[in-house]
A and B are shown apart, each in its own frame.
Chain A
């Protein structure tokens, strides 16, 4: 992180090698175009540089911090863009060709994500998809589905707890 803050070339490249592809992949899924995903990736690393001094490794992993920045920026953009067709979400895509060793940690993270999603019921998958990948608020989901707001919030919490428990014994966090 110190290298990033100092603008050190090797440090930035190392961080990009670790997180560039996951950030881009998430941007592509949420925003629906390569151009938007590339802009998001650039914004994420600039934001990481800007907020880097606030990162406290004792309070959480770098991956959690950085991917949360990425998701928040993507959702902000998604919610700003009105009239733009949101990508149709397919939570569990086909796993692409076996990645090389450079992407081993990314593959493990994806395994954890797929394991977590598999632990959810179909209704919970749809709920999480709408909130996390389409940026819909609980109120919007409530109004769309005609389900009481409190119920949506309770179900979102239950789904997140399931996601957490699915990897509880496996994750180093």
Chain B
């Protein structure tokens, strides 16, 4: 997104009515562009002024206690999880294990393919992203005990003709309140046909909101690629993963599951 496009979206973004995709695009842009970041901050401060316009209304006396109890429940290290049931805290070991499992899952898929597997070739432009991803994983573990991971396999959709699509893959999201959330997708067996590329990877939440992870425009000899991205979105709830070809046909699909314990990375 360039500055002109970003500026056109900033008022809606500030007013909280930009769509999910626009929000992702704007936030990515303002994280990079200082001038647009300043404009965005100015408009957001203006918008929040309006929050106080409604006539003050007195909440029920019991609401304070309800709020305090709710926050105390989720903040308690061993307390009940209330509204955030299931969001277990993660440890460094767990997160690193998640990343390693994903890598092994991707490797295992490659290892079973014929002709004999070749090493995963990460597209040049993604190497930095991958390095940053693993750096983040390591850093999360020590800096943010609240980081969480969700992991899942990607398979061709049920309607795919048997034998037509030998593709497979794995996906991992890591969500931490202190830094941008991360997503990593490893695929293999994608067809390198020009008419099918680039492939697109998206995450979808329960409401149908979509976060675009990125495009795969370069495949290795086994039709594999690795995509790693740092996203400004909060990826909590984005559990459905889709890989689509250039014709928007679903190639791979999968559901991510929150992992409190991870299987051994051994094959």
B-contacting residues of A (Cβ < 8 Å)? 4-7, 9, 12-13, 16, 20-22, 24-26, 28-30, 34, 37-38, 41-43, 45-46, 49-54, 59-60, 63-64, 67-68, 70-72, 75, 80, 91-96, 99, 103, 106, 109-110, 112-114, 116-117, 128, 131-133, 135-138, 150, 153, 156-157, 160-161, 163-164, 167, 173
Contact = CB atoms under 8 A, between A and B. Distances in A.
A50 B47 contact: no
B50 A22 contact: no
B56 A53 contact: no
Give the secondary structure class of A's interface: helix
A72 to B, nearest CB: 5
Contacts of A59: 41
B54 interface: yes
Interface string B32-65: 0000000001111111111111111111100110
- Chain B interface extent, by class: 35 or more
6 contacts: A25-B54, A53-B144, A70-B51, A110-B52, A133-B54, A164-B49
9 closest residue pairs by CB, A with B:
A7-B75, A93-B55, A29-B54, A164-B46, A156-B11, A109-B52, A113-B52, A113-B53, A67-B51
Nearest to B14: A160
Given A5-B75, A12-B72, A24 B51 contact: no
A68 to B, nearest CB: 6
A64 B48 contact: yes
